[in-house]
Amino acid sequence: MNASIKEILEKELQFSNKKVLIRGWVTSNRGNKKIRFISINDGSTIESLQITLKGEKFDFEILDQTRLGAAVEVEGEIILTPEAKQKLELLATSFKVLKNVDLDYPIQRQEINTETLREIPHLRHRTNLFRAIMLIRSTLALEIHNYFSKKGFLYFNAPIITSNDGEGAGETFFVNDGNKEKPFFGTNKATLGVTGQLHAESYAIGFNKVYTFAPTFRAEHSNTKKHAAEFWMVEPEVAFYELKDVITLADDLLKNVIKNTIQKHEAEFKFLTENIDKNLLNKLENFVNKKLTIMDYQEALVELEKVKNIFENKDIKFGLDFGTEHERYLAEKVVNGPVAITNFPKEFKAFYMHQNEDNKTVAAFDLLVPGIGELIGGSQREVRYDKLLSRALEIGISQDELQWYLDLRRFGDSGSSGFGIGFERLVMYVTGVDNIRDVIPYPRTTGNIKM
């Protein structure tokens, strides 16, 4: 019977005394010339399966030389061992080394720090830490697709290469085919998209509920633990939704996705709780079970003002664009959990956000979480043609370039709202890992484009 180690461990009774065939990679190898215990991992879980090998049918010379990382194929019988440290083992009847590893294989039993592992992104997923992170990352992505699919959202692909700078923020990468005289797209302004939102809006008008899940790019030089030049974004956009509706959607999405992911990764969360953050599962369960706090920007200012001396940026007044220190204080100290801050000053928010009646703020929200700060940013979009156009012109976007987007407002657009989740930030939050370079397989940052 072919089975994954995850299946065998989860359905132990079903596999008791059954013959199985496993292919995987050696994670430990000990014993002597008469009995050998070799653990193998097949990537389905961070847990390894212990293989017991004894008897004359095995060449103990070969077993002895089978190094960590070697690919092997084992057949045998599953034996439940309720008294032992591991709850079951595989009593091998045959053992084949499919491919050994060279002696300079860098992944060994002793721990390697994550910084060193970043130099070998093609191998680091063979450590328990990165196995856990990447398994959880994969499940988070699938649970996001499942959530939207169940709610009747259309999965929409915005263009990646675009002539449209969504945020009006600059910091974009340019794309060319090396031909300076005659550029591929007929323009030198082809860039990599920083958001799929504007295009998603066009599809929300007609499909009602849509979302993107795609790579986005920023040529930002900030060398922080939270920023990468290439990262994945999830951007739902819903017609007829206002600010409050879309905050509810964000909260419900996160709660469902996190709850389902925890259920599917008991072993991985146990490992992360033991090794990365003792409080991890508590924190996530708190998130899932607690009602989201919603706080107006100006209320938040009052809270920050009370303790302004603890901040590096002490200039707490209307107009302040919160830094991570302020965001974390609000989530960690004021609320002790996630908090949605609403109605920010329009000056530092994007041109397309709904302008509130006070003429100073926009109907935007940032969802802040402990340990990270901003996880989600979103808004109700400005549906009034004139207000949208004048704000765009104010910040120097040309009407020509934006006419298609403005035209949505003339053609049956009665308003929509949406938000963006930085997917890697979600993975960081859920795994407790504090550096974005460790939650994406091949991170891209300033000066770093390994492999």
DSSP state of 153: P
Identity of the residue, 101 or 294, whose beta carbon is nearer to a copy of itself in the bound complex: 101
CB of 286 to a copy of itself, least distance (A): 27
Identity of the residue, 164 or 431, whose beta carbon is nearer to a copy of itself in the bound complex: 164
CA 278 to CA 265: how far, in whole Å?
A: 16
Task: Please report whether residue 158 would count as binding a copy of itself according to CB under 8 A.
Answer: yes
| Ranges of H-type helices in 310-398 | 324-329, 385-394
Task: Please report whether residue 126 would count as binding a copy of itself according to CB under 8 A.
Answer: yes
Q: Which long-range contacts (CB under 8 A, 24 or more apart) does 311-318 make?
A: 318/345, 318/360
Interface pick for a copy of itself out of 15, 25, 329, 351 (rule CB under 8 A): 25
Strands 88-99, 71-80: pairing kind: antiparallel
Task: Dig out the tokens for 343 from the structure.
Answer: 């109605």
Task: Please report whether residue 240 would count as binding a copy of itself according to CB under 8 A.
Answer: yes
Identity of the residue, 230 or 303, whose beta carbon is nearer to a copy of itself in the bound complex: 230
CA torsion 404-408-411-412 (nearest 10°) is 170
- In our burial notation (b when 16+ CB lie closer than 10 A, e otherwise), range 326-361 reads bbbbbbbebbebbbbbbbbbbeebbbbbbbbeeeeb
Interface pick for a copy of itself out of 91, 142, 267, 288 (rule CB under 8 A): 142
Q: How many residues does the chain have?
A: 451
Task: Please report whether residue 11 would count as binding a copy of itself according to CB under 8 A.
Answer: no
Site for a copy of itself, residues 211 to 230, rule: CB under 8 A: 214-215, 217, 219, 221, 229-230
Interface pick for a copy of itself out of 15, 95, 147, 203 (rule CB under 8 A): 203
Identity of the residue, 311 or 385, whose beta carbon is nearer to a copy of itself in the bound complex: 385
Which one of the spans 142-150, 253-261, 273-281, 343-351 is the region binding a copy of itself (CB under 8 A)?
142-150
**What is the size of the binding site for a copy of itself (CB under 8 A)?**
97
CB of 335 to a copy of itself, least distance (A): 31
Residues 6+ apart with CB under 8 A from 5: 22, 24, 40, 41, 42, 44, 45, 47, 48, 49
- Sort 83 into a burial class: Cβ within 10 Å, 0-12 / 13-18 / 19+: exposed
The backbone region for 415, taken as left when phi is positive above 0, alpha when psi lies in -120 to 50, beta otherwise, is left
CB of 210 to a copy of itself, least distance (A): 8
Q: At what angle are helices 197-207 and 399-408 packed, to 10 degrees? A: 30
Interface pick for a copy of itself out of 80, 112, 123, 276 (rule CB under 8 A): 123
Site for a copy of itself, residues 271 to 330, rule: CB under 8 A: none
Site for a copy of itself, residues 65 to 104, rule: CB under 8 A: 69-71, 73, 98-102, 104
CB of 129 to a copy of itself, least distance (A): 13
CB of 57 to a copy of itself, least distance (A): 22
Interface pick for a copy of itself out of 28, 65, 157, 224 (rule CB under 8 A): 157
CB of 22 to a copy of itself, least distance (A): 10
Site for a copy of itself, residues 159 to 198, rule: CB under 8 A: 159-164, 172-178, 184-187, 190, 192
Residues 6+ apart with CB under 8 A from 263: none
Site for a copy of itself, residues 370 to 409, rule: CB under 8 A: 383, 404-405, 407-408
Identity of the residue, 192 or 340, whose beta carbon is nearer to a copy of itself in the bound complex: 192
Task: Dig out the tokens for 15 from the structure.
Answer: 């596999």
CA 19 to CA 35: how far, in whole Å?
A: 20
Task: Please report whether residue 13 would count as binding a copy of itself according to CB under 8 A.
Answer: no
Identity of the residue, 187 or 282, whose beta carbon is nearer to a copy of itself in the bound complex: 187
Identity of the residue, 394 or 407, whose beta carbon is nearer to a copy of itself in the bound complex: 407
CA 166 to CA 233: how far, in whole Å?
A: 14
CB of 131 to a copy of itself, least distance (A): 7
